[in-house]
């Protein structure tokens, strides 16, 4: 039994060494190509990934969970946070997340679907609840609140201090007025 345990331990250490070497070589290759995405302390697993020439950018105080994916033309401002399982895709258009805004677990923000190919903009101090889906071209103003599992269609405008209740569905092109609560 001791021999089997020793072999398992050695196999684990060799595998670990290969993985760590691969991560280091990957980071070195990215730096040689002029891409500093691997330099972020919070993204050891490369959860911030360029897509062709589109590279995500993040302020120094941003938190991105290791299981989140931030891909392409995405900008995260000071104090923004991206939690487990989130996917933010800046592939068809840009996505910007404002200061101190938080994107909670399992939310998907994509840039597809906008009739005008407009970017997705999330203002400052916005909370996007767990499991929300944000369509392309959406504009979410400062201090808005998106409830859990809300579905926000493409080209939706959510004005300052507006709220969507949990599970709300906002159709394409709609406007959620300031200081209102939508619970459809």
**132-149 pLDDT per residue, tens:** 999 999 999 999 999 999
pLDDT of residue 36: 66
The confidence score (pLDDT) of residue 38 equals 58
Burial class (CB in 10 A: 0-12, 13-18, 19+), 28: exposed
Nearest to 119 by CA among 134, 107, 133, 104: 134
* DSSP code, position 18: H
30-37: Cβ within 8 A, 24+ apart: none
Residue count of the chain:
184
Please check the confidence at residue 176 and state whether its pLDDT lies above 80.
yes
Pair 151, 172: CB distance under 8 Å:
no
The yes-or-no verdict on residue 1 having pLDDT over 80 is no
**Residues 89 and 72: beta-carbon distance below 8 Å:** yes
Q: Is 63's pLDDT higher than 70?
A: yes
Say which residue, 21 or 164, is predicted with more confidence. 164
| Model confidence pLDDT, tens digit, residues 22-61 | 877 877 887 788 776 655 554 445 688 888 889 999 999 9
d(CA 72, CA 58): 12
DSSP tag of 82: E
pLDDT interval class at 18 (50, 70, 90):
confident
Question: Which residue, 163, 157, 159, 168, is CA-closest to 127?
Answer: 163
Confidence at 159, pLDDT banded by 50, 70, 90: very high
At 139, list the tokens: 């504009």
For the chain, where are the E strands, in sequence order?
A: 48-49, 57-58, 63-64, 69-76, 81-82, 87-97, 102-103, 108-110, 120-122, 127-128, 133-134, 139-140, 145-146, 151-152, 157-158, 163-164, 169-170, 175-176, 181-182
Q: What percent of the chain has pLDDT over 90?
A: 65
């Amino acid at each position: 039994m001791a021999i089997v345990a020793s072999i398992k331990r050695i196999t684990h250490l060799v595998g670990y060494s290969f993985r760590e070497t691969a991560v280091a070589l990957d980071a070195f290759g990215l730096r040689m190509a002029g891409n500093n995405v691997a330099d972020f302390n919070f993204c050891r697993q490369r959860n911030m990934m360029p897509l062709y020439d589109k590279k995500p950018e993040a302020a120094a105080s941003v938190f991105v969970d290791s299981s989140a994916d931030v891909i392409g033309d995405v900008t995260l401002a000071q104090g923004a946070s991206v939690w487990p399982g989130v996917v933010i895709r800046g592939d068809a258009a840009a996505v910007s997340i404002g200061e101190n805004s938080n994107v909670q677990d399992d939310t998907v923000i994509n840039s597809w679907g906008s009739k005008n190919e407009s970017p997705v903009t999330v203002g400052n101090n916005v909370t996007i609840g767990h499991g929300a889906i944000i369509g392309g071209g959406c504009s979410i103003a400062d201090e808005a609140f998106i409830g859990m599992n809300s579905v926000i269609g493409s080209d939706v405008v959510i004005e300052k201090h507006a709220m969507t209740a949990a599970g709300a569905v906002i159709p394409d092109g709609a406007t959620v007025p300031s200081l209102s609560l939508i619970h459809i």
